[in-house]
Structure 1
């Protein structure tokens, strides 16, 4: 296809749009204490302030991706940015927990419209040769937001009220909207009928699934609410799968999973985000409760990983045309597994050196693996389904991260409780409760138990990433197969009849 002369400026817009979502989710973690004190929020309020966004975002992703293919990817992204910015203003000036929960819910809707559109526009703007570099830059920006969020949030809250962590979204959203209108062409897939049944089933299924994952470690499977949400998730997602295979115009073409590369990339991505989701949950607690870091210092501790991601994203993008997606994905995943193994050896007395080394390994592996896995996954998606393909990528990552938090969190909690079986009752459930008792010997035992439990969890994470590497090696295409597929696609695009049928190029 003819290269858009503004494509790199368009990439800047897409990165800004992604950055606003990642920063928002990360800065919230350092604002929780201030929100609790200022609004009088209960523990249940705080849970809903966090979870309302996640539930709406996960539930709407597939529907949002389908809508972007149907009505226009730029249009969908701009609507999402407008909604996200307006909801951020509402959250900024919230005077009660209910108002803040409403703002977070609306932000989740906006985020669900933004996220699939960014990657789908990237896929349609960049050709096969430049796409790895573009995806690498897009991935690096997400990592910068992940690490920079807590640092920025901590610095802002030190000088302003907690509302500023939401207000910073507004200028970024406005800049992205203006740039999108000026620079970005519209693109959409060919017209097809709407799939309202698929939309309802996907929303119900994903929302119930994420809710079950969130509640399972706290309530357990014996709880009636957890059982009900799990039943809804299973029934809705099974119904969705059956409906999509029989529908004349399916919202999600499940036939994609017949492609081994798509399936291999999908499962590798689930296991990778599974491990990384647990990493953030566990390591932030270790740094703050065991090492005594502040939230801002905790954010800085992830800086070596962010730097390594940026450097190795560039290296991986440069090597990808010569090595192919499979080689780079497997190599990166094995490096990440080595990073998890290094983290699993951390002890209470270890200083900055071992932690920084592990962070560098994690970042280097992520910089090599993520662009390759996402390129493989999106390369298997037809252009006319770029929006829903991007939404599948986002949904897979959301589900993997949620599972990682739930399962590795449960491993951490269970192992910690076992190690604290002789401690006072109030110290057995969590290290935070143990430290709150103010007993020096209990605190020392709690730090030791947590470090041991963290090691077990990180070994489990390393195992998951090794399995991801094996799946990528077995299922993803090698370089020669990728070249053959690209040549076949080019031949099909050269046919006028096929070109007309598959048209999904920019329309404005």
Structure 2
């Protein structure tokens, strides 16, 4: 066997290793959503503590991704990838022995930090190892794996919980971690940026504190309404955001190069994950809980119904890459977002009771539409910066993606809670009913019409956000409108 063949085989296996991790990380997020109702029964916990099972993971994941990208450039991309996957896998094995939901929240926060290291290190390693069309294919597979992990989570969780309980959901993630480790240690090439600068610790801390305060504040609003605590937390998050911008503009080696946001193409790329957060990722959370909490489907049935939105992610991202031979990536992405918005609009006028086939059709439209930009945005994220800045590029993009998921989930939860309160006020129901419904647990059949009205209003908001993002992305990514990034830093 020739050296060239060995190199090609090694390259394919290195992609497989990173994609295994990219599937494992979002799988842990989306599968955890299905597991939360079972965790509420055993070991049990308050609604706020249960909400942190998902939000603690997303918070640490999103807030540390840019720092992880800088660490990858400085200390080695393979080294950070292996370290992150190892810690994540170990913590997944420990979830079966946590004594309470609070401890589970702590483990999930640590998992988020490990996930940041794994994704930033693996993505930067692929960006350095491949170029041109090969890099486009590698990042298409990476994006597809991330999407499949998100979308397949409810299905896998439903099947596992039907036979082995909620602990098995996290143990399944550990299996993918072991696979990524075994292959990655042997095949992933090591690389680093010889000109990497010192870490921007002030930026890292201020960004993390900003996200923590905002998420905590939004969850407090959703749990107990507007209060002095929630107002103080949200105000403090705004002040910290301004502090973060001030720090980054004056840092000689900023974690986030704010000057990049002067370029339309860079801004357009960052809007892609924001759009998919609101038209796809949020629905991966609210639809399963709607099926289980509103209509009483079990976890397995819910997982099977979610195939309608998840299966397109197995096919459509690769189709999107093929379409770039004839159409501009910006046009493909916008067309996908328009299709997803149409699906959300259709979903807002039907219920599983009134027409399950139409509900599933709407979910197929959402999954297919979201899959078009999903297959393109990972490669676009590194194509708009010089290769030596691959670590920062993947860190910024992944931060927008994951932090956006956390912000979207917290904001949508809060919005849904407020919409429920408005609906219940018109019927003279107690505020406690809103909190029950916001957790997708009906306390009486008479509340179902009110819950559905609030849910339909929420869908219309998500459709509007998706359409606005599509318009902005169209303006930013079209060749005649997009401003090119400089060839050098």
What TM-score results when the alignment is normalised by the length of structure 1?
Answer: 0.86
Whether 1:476 aligns to 2:477 is yes
Distance 1:53 1:111 in 2: 9
Q: What is residue 450 of structure 1 aligned with on the other side?
A: 451
Q: Which moved more, 1:326-335 or 1:341-350?
A: 341-350
Q: SS where residue 478 of structure 1 aligns?
A: coil
Aligned partners of 2:442 and 2:448 also within 8 Å: no
Whether 1:329 aligns to 2:298 is no
2:291 to 287, 305, 317: 287
1:343 to 320, 342, 347: 347
**Could you report, residue by residue, the CA deviation over 1:191-224 in whole angstroms, capped at 9, with x for unpaired residues?**
3233222222222223223333333333444322
Shift of 1:72: 1.3
Aligned partners of 2:265 and 2:482 also within 8 Å: no
**Could you report, residue by residue, the CA deviation over 1:150-202 in whole angstroms, capped at 9, with x for unpaired residues?**
23223323333432222223332122112111111112222323322222222
- Over 3 Å counting, the alpha-carbon distance change for 1:375 and 1:221 in structure 2 is farther
Shift of 1:424: 4.1
Distance 2:214 2:187 in 1: 38
- Over 3 Å counting, the alpha-carbon distance change for 1:431 and 1:18 in structure 2 is same
- Over 3 Å counting, the alpha-carbon distance change for 1:144 and 1:237 in structure 2 is same
Q: What is residue 202 of structure 1 aligned with on the other side?
A: 207
Q: Which moved more, 1:10-19 or 1:376-385?
A: 376-385
Distance 1:411 1:100 in 2: 26
Q: What is residue 196 of structure 2 aligned with on the other side?
A: 191
- Over 3 Å counting, the alpha-carbon distance change for 1:282 and 1:97 in structure 2 is closer
Distance 1:94 1:406 in 2: 25
- Over 3 Å counting, the alpha-carbon distance change for 1:212 and 1:379 in structure 2 is farther
Distance 1:198 1:416 in 2: 38
Q: What is residue 27 of structure 1 aligned with on the other side?
A: 31
- Over 3 Å counting, the alpha-carbon distance change for 1:335 and 1:92 in structure 2 is same
Alignment of 1:399-418 (within 5 A): 399-418=403-422
Aligned partners of 2:264 and 2:482 also within 8 Å: no
Q: What is residue 117 of structure 1 aligned with on the other side?
A: 121
Q: Which moved more, 1:76-85 or 1:43-52?
A: 43-52
Distance 2:367 2:280 in 1: 11
Aligned partners of 1:88 and 1:167 also within 8 Å: yes
Q: What is residue 506 of structure 1 aligned with on the other side?
A: none
2:321 to 317, 321, 334: 317
Whether 1:46 aligns to 2:47 is no
Distance 2:402 2:218 in 1: 11
Aligned partners of 1:216 and 1:406 also within 8 Å: no
Aligned partners of 2:34 and 2:288 also within 8 Å: no
Distance 1:148 1:12 in 2: 18
Structure 2 unmatched ranges of 5 or more: none
Distance 1:13 1:363 in 2: 25
After superposition, the CA RMSD in angstroms is 2.9
Distance 2:95 2:416 in 1: 33
- Over 3 Å counting, the alpha-carbon distance change for 1:100 and 1:68 in structure 2 is same
2:300 to 296, 312, 318: 296
Distance 1:428 1:212 in 2: 18
Q: Which moved more, 1:329-338 or 1:185-194?
A: 185-194
Residues paired across the two proteins, number: 481
Q: What is residue 494 of structure 1 aligned with on the other side?
A: none
Aligned partners of 1:62 and 1:395 also within 8 Å: yes
